[in-house]
């Protein structure tokens, strides 16, 4: 189940409890917990054999994997409560959906902070390509192509039209975008043009639908309309007015 309303645990200004990848306990001193309680786990054992700098990076990745596992479990609930890597006083309340996942390290971040993280992501230091922040609901859906998540969904503006193009909303636009992307993604020499074309067409359809929905409401249509309803013959007059007025 994928919800528009997601609580985000932040705890800005104090050390937060984080979920342990292995036992699920919420622990404030997670590095100490991992080394004392789970030193026999292969990943922890490998981390302890590293130099201090590498050990810290390895333990940080285990912490991220713990948050990832916790969030995956939460997304199966009617009202999921997500955890992010960094505390932020700006992310509070049940209407928060501004959470993205780094496609390099799988860390969960607020969109406001992600622009800082991607320049220092430990897993992308050897690459000239900066990591992308994938919307959390898209990341959780395994039936969406990873390239489509990273190249299209991660780059959509988080405005009303952009939100309409994501998995939490009407999936007709999402399916439309994926179809376009699959048809033209083989054009490696025109990667930027392909991305812009698909995003532009998805946003154009989303914008048309928002206006169509408003026109239907103004015309007295009382039921909730979807993108598919733009092809409903009984509602063609609303679409006609939008296109030709």
- Evaluate if residue 102 carries a pLDDT over 70: yes
Q: Which of 103, 118, 140 is the last residue of a domain?
A: 140
Residue 21 has φ and ψ, to the nearest 5°, of -60, -30
Q: Which of 140, 159, 190 is the last residue of a domain?
A: 140
- Locus of tokens 């705890």: 11
Are both 75 and 187 inside the same structural domain? Answer: no
Residue 95 — pLDDT band, cuts 50, 70, 90?
A: very low
Interatomic CA distance for residues 213 and 170, integer angstroms: 12
Are both 169 and 136 inside the same structural domain? Answer: no
Instruction: Using only the alpha carbons of the chain, give its radius of gyration.
Output: 21
Confidence at residue 8, expressed as pLDDT on a 0 to 100 scale: 55
- Span 146-168, mean pLDDT? 82
11 Cβ contact partners less than 8 Å away, ≥ 6 residues apart? 17, 87
Are both 134 and 241 inside the same structural domain? Answer: no
Q: What is the pLDDT of residues 8-60, one digit of tens each?
A: 555 555 678 899 999 999 999 999 999 999 999 999 999 999 999 999 999 99
What 8-state DSSP symbol labels residue 28?
A: S
Are both 1 and 116 inside the same structural domain? Answer: yes
Are both 205 and 127 inside the same structural domain? Answer: no
Question: How high is the mean pLDDT of the chain?
Answer: 79
Q: Would you tell me how many other CB atoms lie within 10 Å of the CB of residue 142?
A: 6
Q: Whole domain around residue 44: which residue ranges?
A: 1-140
Interatomic CA distance for residues 98 and 194, integer angstroms: 26
Are both 184 and 209 inside the same structural domain? Answer: yes
16 Cβ contact partners less than 8 Å away, ≥ 6 residues apart? 9, 10, 28, 83, 87
Confidence at residue 5, expressed as pLDDT on a 0 to 100 scale: 46
Interatomic CA distance for residues 191 and 86, integer angstroms: 32
Check: CB of residue 70 under 8 Å from CB of residue 80.
no
Ranked by mean pLDDT, the top range of 64-68, 92-96, 135-139 is 64-68
Are both 17 and 129 inside the same structural domain? Answer: yes
- Residue 157 has which token pair? 């503006």
Number of domains in the chain: 2
Interatomic CA distance for residues 161 and 84, integer angstroms: 25
Are both 221 and 102 inside the same structural domain? Answer: no
- Residue 239 has which token pair? 């679409």
- Residue 221 has which token pair? 């249509």
Are both 169 and 183 inside the same structural domain? Answer: yes
Interatomic CA distance for residues 161 and 5, integer angstroms: 18
Q: Which of 75, 108, 140 is the last residue of a domain?
A: 140
Are both 86 and 116 inside the same structural domain? Answer: yes
Confidence at residue 130, expressed as pLDDT on a 0 to 100 scale: 66
- Span 145-151, mean pLDDT? 82
- Residue 23 has which token pair? 């036992």
Are both 195 and 205 inside the same structural domain? Answer: yes
Are both 82 and 107 inside the same structural domain? Answer: yes
pTM: predicted TM-score of the whole model, two decimal places: 0.60
Q: What is the pLDDT of residues 185-230, one digit of tens each?
A: 677 677 788 888 999 999 999 998 888 888 888 888 777 888 888 7
Residue 82 has φ and ψ, to the nearest 5°, of -90, 155
**27 DSSP β-pair partners:** 18
């Amino acid at each position: 189940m994928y919800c528009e309303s997601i609580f985000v645990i932040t705890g800005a200004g104090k050390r937060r409890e984080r979920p342990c990848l292995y036992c699920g306990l919420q622990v404030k001193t997670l590095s100490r917990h991992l080394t004392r309680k789970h030193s026999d786990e292969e990943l922890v054992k490998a981390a302890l054999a590293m130099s201090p700098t590498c050990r810290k990076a390895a333990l940080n990745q285990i912490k991220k994997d713990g948050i990832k596992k916790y969030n995956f479990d939460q997304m199966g609930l009617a009202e999921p409560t997500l955890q992010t890597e960094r505390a932020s006083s700006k992310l509070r309340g049940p209407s928060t959906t501004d959470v993205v996942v780094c496609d390099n390290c799988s860390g969960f971040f607020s969109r406001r902070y992600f622009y800082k993280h991607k320049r220092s992501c430990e897993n992308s230091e050897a690459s000239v390509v900066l990591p992308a922040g994938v919307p959390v609901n898209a990341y959780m859906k395994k039936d969406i192509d990873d390239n489509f998540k990273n190249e299209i969904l991660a780059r959509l503006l988080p405005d009303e039209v952009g939100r309409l193009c994501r998995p939490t909303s009407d999936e007709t636009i999402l399916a439309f975008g994926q179809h376009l992307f699959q048809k033209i993604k083989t054009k490696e020499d025109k990667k930027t043009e392909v991305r812009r074309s698909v995003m532009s067409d998805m946003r154009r359809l989303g914008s048309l639908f928002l206006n169509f929905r408003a026109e239907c409401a103004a015309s007295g249509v009382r039921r909730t309309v979807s993108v598919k309803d733009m092809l409903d013959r009984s509602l063609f007059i609303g679409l006609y007015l939008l296109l030709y007025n």
